[in-house]
Amino acid sequence: MLICSSLDEVRRREAALRCIASRVKEHGRTGLYDLSGLAGGFPVKKSDLAFLETYAGPAIFSESLQKEGKDHLGGEKVLAFNRTSAAILATIMALVEPGDEVLHYLPKLPSHPSIPRSVKIQGATYHEFDDLNDFKLSEKTSLVVITGSTMDHQVLPLADFERIIEIAHQQQIPVMVDDASGARLRTVIYQQPRALDMSADLVVTSTDKLMDGPRAGLMAGNTQLIDLIQAKANQFGLEAQPPVVAGIVRALEHFNPQRILDSINRKDALYQTVKEVVPGVEKTPTGIMISAENILKEITDSKDETHISEREAATLMAMILLKDHNLITIPAVGMPGVSATIRLDLAAQDAERMDNTQISHAISDALQRLKQIATDEEACLNILYE
- The DSSP annotation for 365-380 comes to HHHHHHHHHTT-HHHH
Residues 6+ apart with CB under 8 A from 25: none
Report the alpha-carbon distance of residue 211 to residue 192 in Å, rounded. Answer: 18
Near ligand PLP by CB under 6 A, which window of 161-169, 174-182, 312-320, 326-334? 174-182
Residues 6+ apart with CB under 8 A from 375: 307
Residue among 310, 386, 308, 336 at smallest CA distance from 1: 308
| 206 versus 294: smaller Cβ distance to ligand PLP | 206
| 184 versus 215: smaller Cβ distance to ligand PLP | 215
Instruction: Rule CB under 6 A: say whether 206 interacts with ligand PLP.
Output: yes
Looking at 150, 187, 291, 329, which residue binds ligand PLP (CB under 6 A)?
150
CA angle 304, 280, 158 (to 5 degrees): 130
Looking at 84, 326, 329, 360, which residue binds ligand PLP (CB under 6 A)?
84
Which residues are bridge partners to 328 per DSSP? 34
Instruction: Rule CB under 6 A: say whether 178 interacts with ligand PLP.
Output: yes
Looking at 147, 286, 315, 329, which residue binds ligand PLP (CB under 6 A)?
147
Residues 6+ apart with CB under 8 A from 123: 98, 99
Looking at 114, 118, 192, 360, which residue binds ligand PLP (CB under 6 A)?
114
Instruction: Rule CB under 6 A: say whether 230 interacts with ligand PLP.
Output: no
Q: What is the largest CA-CA distance in the chain?
A: 65
Looking at 215, 250, 267, 311, which residue binds ligand PLP (CB under 6 A)?
215
| 99 versus 113: smaller Cβ distance to ligand PLP | 113
Report the alpha-carbon distance of residue 239 to residue 237 in Å, rounded. Answer: 6
Contact 204, 88 (CB under 8 A): yes
Taking the complex as a whole, how short is the minimal distance between the CB of residue 330 and ligand PLP, in angstroms? 11
Residues 6+ apart with CB under 8 A from 336: 6, 9, 10, 13
Looking at 181, 230, 286, 341, which residue binds ligand PLP (CB under 6 A)?
181
Taking the complex as a whole, how short is the minimal distance between the CB of residue 261 and ligand PLP, in angstroms? 21
Taking the complex as a whole, how short is the minimal distance between the CB of residue 198 and ligand PLP, in angstroms? 17
Taking the complex as a whole, how short is the minimal distance between the CB of residue 82 and ligand PLP, in angstroms? 8
| 147 versus 360: smaller Cβ distance to ligand PLP | 147
Instruction: Rule CB under 6 A: say whether 83 interacts with ligand PLP.
Output: yes
Looking at 89, 124, 180, 295, which residue binds ligand PLP (CB under 6 A)?
180
| 203 versus 318: smaller Cβ distance to ligand PLP | 203
Taking the complex as a whole, how short is the minimal distance between the CB of residue 272 and ligand PLP, in angstroms? 28
The Cα-based distances of 307 to 199, 304, 375 in angstroms read 52, 8, 8
- The 8 Å CB, 24+ separation contacts for 290-296 are 290/314, 290/317, 290/341, 290/342, 290/363, 291/340, 291/341, 292/331, 292/340, 292/341, 292/342, 295/342, 295/367, 295/370
Size of the site for ligand PLP (CB under 6 A): 13
Q: Classify strands 141-147 and 202-206 as parallel, antiparallel or unpaired.
A: unpaired
Instruction: Rule CB under 6 A: say whether 85 interacts with ligand PLP.
Output: yes
297 phi/psi in degrees, rounded to 5:
-60, -40
Looking at 137, 151, 228, 277, which residue binds ligand PLP (CB under 6 A)?
151
Taking the complex as a whole, how short is the minimal distance between the CB of residue 147 and ligand PLP, in angstroms? 5
Residues numbered 258-317 forming contacts with ligand PLP, rule: CB under 6 A: none
Report the alpha-carbon distance of residue 186 to residue 197 in Å, rounded. Answer: 13
- Contact positions toward ligand PLP, by CB under 6 A? 83-85, 112, 114, 147, 150-151, 178, 180-181, 206, 215
